[in-house]
């Protein structure tokens, strides 16, 4: 595993995550956001979430090409990069460790994965608005 963790010196959660990674013998490169501001700004620009500890996990993945060779689908190995942000991608240090340990490259293209994530996000937003609508109706009923 090729793991970089972006932290700052005053973050107790960063310390907890690093300790858990060390306890599980997961090697990582620690980068202070203050010492790598350009890299950190790139990550924040991409995720939109300036929260530490943010983990960059580089690995290998596979891409199924849309065409075939000799009647068989073409599969290419590619470099992958996953960014894990606390709260959004993991609720605690153990969940992050579990996610890193169980990582398996996806057999789907990045485009397909992105589409499915957008569909899931759309579903979750819709469910949240339905719940808010139900709560507002309950409040209206109590006020009348």
57 phi-psi bin (left φ>0, alpha ψ -120 to 50, beta other) = beta
Ranges of the chain with pLDDT below 70: 1, 61-71, 73-76, 78
pLDDT of residue 135: 96
Q: CA-based Rg of the chain, rounded to a whole angstrom?
A: 20
Residue 94 has phi, psi (to 5 degrees) of: -65, -40
pLDDT of residue 64: 57
CA 93 from chain center: how many Å? 14
pLDDT of residue 62: 62
pLDDT of residue 104: 80
Tokens representing 38 are 């350009």
Asked if residue 5 lies in contact with residue 51, where contact means CB atoms within 8 angstroms, the answer is no
pLDDT of residue 113: 83
pLDDT of residue 1: 61
Place of tokens 């995550």: 17
CATH number of 2-107: 3.40.30.10
How do the domains of the chain map onto residue ranges? 2-107, 109-144
Check residue 128 and report its DSSP letter: H
pLDDT of residue 109: 74
pLDDT of residue 91: 95
């Amino acid at each position: 595993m090729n793991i970089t963790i972006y932290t700052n010196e005053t973050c107790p959660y960063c310390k907890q995550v690093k300790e858990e990674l060390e306890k599980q013998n997961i090697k990582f490169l620690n980068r202070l956001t203050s010492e790598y501001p350009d890299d950190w700004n790139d990550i924040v620009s991409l995720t939109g979430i300036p929260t530490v500890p943010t983990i960059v996990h580089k690995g290998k993945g596979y891409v199924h090409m849309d065409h075939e060779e000799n009647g068989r689908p073409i599969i290419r190995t590619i470099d992958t990069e996953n960014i894990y942000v606390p709260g959004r991608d993991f609720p605690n240090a153990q969940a992050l460790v579990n996610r890193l340990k169980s990582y398996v490259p996806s057999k789907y293209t990045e485009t397909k994965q992105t589409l499915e994530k957008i569909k899931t996000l759309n579903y979750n937003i819709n469910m949240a608005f339905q719940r808010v609508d139900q709560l507002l109706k309950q409040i209206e009923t109590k006020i009348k």
